[in-house]
Structure 1
Amino acid sequence: MTKKQALRDLQARLADRLQSAQEQAVSVAWLAVTMVGGRYLLPLSQSGEIFPVPSISRVPYTQPWFCGVANLRGGLFGVVDLAVLLDPQTMAARSEQAWAQARLVTLNAQAGVNSALVVDALMGLRRPESFTGNLSAPPDAPPWLTQRFLDSEDRQWQEIDLYALSQTPAFLSIGA
C-alpha cells in the first residue's frame, strides 16, 4: 500500500468517525433545568459550562434581574436571574437554601456576551424523543421563548433560545 493510499484510508476513517460523533451529539439536544417551579430547556449548542454559584459582586443601579458579576475560570461574567427577568415577582420566591443549591449556566461563547444564567436545579439532558408533543409559545411570550414540549407525564417544558435572548435590548440594557 502506498503512502498516499494509507493517508486516504486514514482520512476516510476519520471522516466516518467525525460523522458518527456528530450524529450522536445531535441526539441530545437540551439541558433541562428548573427555575422557580418552571421547567425549561436550554439548547446544548447554545449553552456553555455549569458552575456552582460563586461569590457575586453586586453592581449598583442595575435591573433587579441582574445579580452582578462573577469570576468564572478567570473570566468576568454578568449573572442574570432569568426567573426574575421573566417575572419580577419571583424575587421573594427563592430562599437562602434555594440559592445554595442553584447553579450558573454560561452562554456559549458564540453568543458574544459573557453571561451566566441562574437556574435552581439541573434536571439532566433531554433528547427530542423524550417528549410526546409540542405546543407553540404563548402569544404574549417574548421571541426568545420558542416552543413548549410535553413529556410523557404531560408536564410542560419551555425552550429558551439563548442566542435570541442574549441579543434582546432588555437583556443588553442592565442599567436601571
Structure 2
Amino acid sequence: MANREALKELQTRLAARLQAARGEGVSVSSWLAVESAGRYFLLPLGQSGEIFPWGGVQPVPYTQPWFLGVANLRGALTGVVDLAGLLGAAQMRTEQVLAESSLLAFNGALDVNAALLVDRLSGLRGMEAFVASEPPEADAPPYFGTTYLDAQGTRWQELNLHALSQHPAFLSISA
C-alpha cells in the first residue's frame, strides 16, 4: 500500500511541476527517465501514459517470456511487457524486486493496450540534463533514438514508443 501511495505522490508532483513550468514559460521536460536491467532509457512524455505499481498481472500461456501477462489497469485489460526481456536482457525478478517495479502504460493516443515493466522511475529529463548525444548505431532497432550522455557519464537510450509498438517483435507475443 505504501508503494501505491508513493507512486500517486510522484505522479502528483510530476503533474504539478509540468503545469507550473508551462505556466511560467519554462522549457518543459521531454522524457520520462526509467531504468530496466541496469540500462537507462528515455521515454517521450507524449508517448508515455499513466504509471501504475506492479500487481495483479495474470500470466498468459504460450507467449514469449518477455510478455508477462495481462493486468487490469483502470478497468481495461492491458498486456504487460518486460522491457528488459523484450530488449534481450532477461533477468529473474523476485517478488520483492517486482514490488518495487512500475508499469508504464502507453499513451492512449498510440492506440496500444500495453504497459512496460520498468525497474525504477528516474524522473523527468530535458535536453539541459545532457552534455553530449550520438545518433543510433546502424544496426540499432528502429525504435532506438538518440543516445544521450549526462554529466556523470551515464548513457541514456531514447526509445520511440510509437515505433516500438508497431515493431513486429513487439506484436508477436506467441511463443
Consecutive unaligned residues of structure 2, counting only runs of 5 or more, are 1-20
Q: Is 2:129 aligned against 1:127?
A: no
TM-score with structure 1 setting the length: 0.83
Consecutive unaligned residues of structure 1, counting only runs of 5 or more, are 1-19
Could you tell me which residue of structure 1 aligns to residue 136 of structure 2?
A: 137
Could you tell me which residue of structure 1 aligns to residue 68 of structure 2?
A: 67
| Distance in 2 separating the partners of 1:23 and 1:164 | 32
| Distance in 2 separating the partners of 1:23 and 1:119 | 31
Could you tell me which residue of structure 1 aligns to residue 105 of structure 2?
A: 106
More helix by share: 1
Q: Which has the larger radius of gyration?
A: 1
Could you tell me which residue of structure 1 aligns to residue 91 of structure 2?
A: 91
Q: Quick one: structure 1 residues 171 and 23, their matched pair in 2 at CA, closer, same or farther if it must change by over 3 Å?
A: farther
| Distance in 2 separating the partners of 1:101 and 1:50 | 13
| Distance in 2 separating the partners of 1:168 and 1:23 | 38
User: Is the contact made by 2:22 and 2:28 (CA closer than 8 Å) also made in structure 1?
Assistant: no
Share of identical aligned residues, percent?
52
Q: Is 2:154 aligned against 1:148?
A: no
Could you tell me which residue of structure 2 aligns to residue 33 of structure 1?
A: 34
TM-score with structure 2 setting the length: 0.83
| Distance in 2 separating the partners of 1:160 and 1:151 | 17
Q: What is the CA deviation profile of residues 119-156 of structure 1, one whole-angstrom value per residue up to 9, with x for unaligned ones?
A: 00000000111101101223322110111000011110
RMSD: 1.9
Give the ranges of 4+ consecutive aligned residues of structure 1 lying more than 4 Å apart after TM superposition. Answer: 22-26
